A and B are shown apart, each in its own frame.
Chain A
């Protein structure tokens, strides 16, 4: 029986992975992906060379591939796990999937894993129906689906964060060797620095359940092996996976953390203002989440959270307090963004670990609401099994349908999309919400450039934020070779025959540079997402 239900979770995971892989084909290449792809290739080569004895693990060898200050060529500002997976995946699957999809495969697989883990946890706590619905609501998150299709860390850390929460919860069962929690926490640390927040959630939870179990003494003794596992195996896993730490762990850890504690503030539009320096509004994370999660999912989560609060005497698994754990996980992942000093660029991608909690609350909430409706109608008239199921299908199906419609509407320009509460992409633009970032939308004008280009001669294109991806677009066959990138800033504009502006408020300056050089303000083409301009293409007048 359990294996059959596990198969349902597995099937949902596979569907999710396929959905991500299908969707990413139309998603442009994000600026940062190129860095992760190239470093990932080198990391994978290094590990392959190590196991085949082509080189040893000496300091010179490590430094060449893994070393350097954060911000330099080996991308030491980010831990290695996902980049290594990206590189290995490319090595193994580029012949089958093509270069880009092979790089993006790990993100898709991890998103499937997230759906499976959500399903598994909810199944154990609330049952099959809640598990299926929660998992599907994770699948139908427009922005998360988008991020999962990129060769980057933001969707993966959501998975690894939740995996760490799940493993910790499972290991609270008193097992003798709770190594799983420590190792998974270490994998999260090796994914992205935001995992450093996890101990705040897990620690607070442990103190509470420990105190409940044994008073003050319980805080120390309740499941002490679990704490040892997290404290020892977590950092150890990070250390093993990141050769940069092998020879100067303290100094390099310090460099890594300092980079993020002193990170430059990128430009980000929020409610009509371009923010690039603190203090930021305290409500950025709340409003952005309210505008980027399907409304029906949010409403269901509200119902679910209300049920948990009002019926707290009947919460499942009281000794391990999983609802408290989920709440703490969400609070800790989004909390720093309420401070006004934490960088807000990237928006929801930086607090995506809040999403599993929202979806679990939503899954529990909508199933509870459907069952309550069935019970109410059943108290008034006799219902057949078919009718009962029909009511459940209508209520749950409506919420899932809303998520599905939002998800389909959002792609492939999900960073421009906002939910119905915001008024969609046009409503988001009206409200001055961030239009996009990373230059991904340039993918949508490549065919326009290719079609318009003459068959002979070189036509340099000023591509500004899409510049790092230009070579990959040509390699992927999305652009002809005679449309090379023209270069950076004014020199690039001067050298260009075509020019792109990827519309973000702080990129307006690219328009003005082009107007000055081309002598016209008229683009030849404007790519729009639901009517909202996202890329303009200019052609130099003859």
Chain B
């Protein structure tokens, strides 16, 4: 094919040997690149030494979460793991490997950072959001209409994440209304909504819909789709108490809509 007396004739062989040797070395390096339990134990010890009840512990990248929970899961209550978001946490511990960062620490500067054989422990501190009311804790006394299955507070899978949320499955084409008659409000109502259960998301592709009425006025509309995950909404509010109604609807059957909201100062 080519003139084998020219140097270029040897190039493919040189490249193949180089690629192969790189692959041999890279394969073994990759296979041993993830920090082991000793590093995690050291990192966990640092967290335990300064952990305060109410702190949030997160792990990054997300795939290392089981390893993180193996070492520090006893400091993570189920409700914290299934939190709505991280705004109410003033101190966040992030344990990460491979240079990853958890979304809950985005935009924050660490007050401390230590590396334990590949596991980086960062502590973040900030002023937490002051929560005046969490609708998940106020299910007694709600008013419901419109039928459907629920509402009930569930630990649900939404967007492959755990969330403690109010789940309702509205009848197709009908509105399921859930009213909190006297919800204490601050300056903002922050909420999230998503579609729970991966298998119904696969089999039923139509979105759901959640509307929020405050004192009878429509304040927000969110239409989470099957690939949207846990969708945030926020509404400015006037401090005081007011009836707040969440209206779930879907055109399709079996659409499991799960939502949570907090009134923040």
Contact B30 A420 (CB under 8 A): yes
CB-CB under 8 A from B77, the residues of chain A are 521
CB atoms of A373 and B13 under 8 A apart: yes
Encoded as 1 (CB less than 8 Å from any A CB) or 0, chain B from 194 to 222 comes to 00011001100100000000000000000
Closest to A370 in B: B13
Which residue in A274, A427, A522 is a CB contact (below 8 Å) of B160? A274
Cα A380 to Cα B7 in complex, Å, equals 10
A501 and B5 alpha carbons, distance in the complex (Å): 60
B4 touches A508 (CB 8 A): no
Residues of A within 8 A of B138 (CB): none
| Given known A-B contacts A426-B30, A429-B61, A530-B34, A401 and B9 have beta carbons under 8 A apart | no
**What chain A residues lie within 8 Å of B111 (beta carbons)?**
none
- With a cutoff of 8 Å between Cβ atoms, the chain A residues found around residue B160 in the complex are 274, 505-506, 508
Residue A53 at the chain B interface, CB threshold 8 Å: no
Contact A530 B31 (CB under 8 A): yes
Contacts of A258 on B, CB cut-off 8 Å? none
Q: A424-B33, A521-B78 are in contact. Are A402 and B20 (CB under 8 A)?
A: yes
With the chains together, A525 CA to B70 CA distance in Å?
Answer: 7
Residues of A within 8 A of B174 (CB): none
Check A299–B15 contact: CB distance below 8 A.
Answer: yes
Which residues of chain B from 130 to 174 have any CB-CB distance to chain A below 8 Å in the complex? 155-157, 160-162
Q: Is the CB of B31 within 8 A of A267?
A: no
Interface residues of A in 80-126 (CB under 8 A from B): none
Give the complex CA separation of A32 and B112 in angstroms: 49
User: Contacts A424-B33, A425-B30, A522-B73; is A376 near B6 (CB within 8 Å)?
Assistant: yes
Once the chains bind, are A406 and B23 in contact (CB under 8 Å)? yes
Q: Which of A1-9, A167-175, A218-226, A391-399 contacts B (4 or more CB under 8 A)?
A: A391-399
Stretch of A42-50, A149-157, A237-245, A512-520 that contacts chain B:
A512-520
Chain A nearest CB: distance from B133 CB in Å? 24
A477 to B246, CA, bound (A): 55
Looking at the complex, which one of B14, B76, B197, B202 makes contact with A265 (CB distance below 8 Å)? Answer: B202
A451: B residues at CB distance < 8 A: none
Q: Is A449 an interface residue (CB 8 A)?
A: no
Q: Which of B2, B27, B67 touches A420 (beta carbons < 8 Å)?
A: B27
Q: Find chain A residues with CB under 8 A from B15 CB.
A: 299
- Measured in the bound complex, the distance between the Cα atoms of B16 and A402 in whole Å is 10
Chain B residues, Cβ within 8 Å of A373: 9-10, 12-14
Q: Which residues in chain A, 484-542, are within 8 Å of chain B measured between CB atoms?
A: 501, 503, 505-506, 508-509, 511-512, 515-516, 519-526, 528, 530-533, 536
- State whether A532 touches B70 (Cβ < 8 A): no
Contacts A372-B9, A395-B13 given; does A405 touch B28 at CB 8 Å: yes
| Measured CA separation A377–B4 after assembly (Å) | 9
Give the distance to chain B from A142, nearest Cβ to Cβ, in Å: 10
Q: Which of A469-485 contact B (CB under 8 A)?
A: none
User: Which residue of chain A is the closest to B66 with respect to CB atoms?
Assistant: A533
Q: Which B residues are closer than 8 A to A by beta carbons?
A: 1-2, 4-7, 9-10, 12-17, 19-24, 26-28, 30-36, 61, 63-67, 69-70, 72-74, 76-78, 81-82, 98, 100, 155-157, 160-162, 197-198, 201-202, 205, 226-227
- Provide a sorted-by-A list of 6 A–B residue pairs whose CB atoms are within 8 angstroms: A274-B198, A277-B205, A399-B20, A402-B24, A423-B30, A524-B70
User: Other CB < 8 Å A-B pairs besides A365-B12, A391-B13, 15 of them?
Assistant: A274-B198, A395-B13, A401-B20, A402-B24, A402-B27, A406-B23, A424-B26, A424-B33, A515-B162, A522-B72, A523-B69, A528-B34, A531-B35, A531-B67, A533-B67
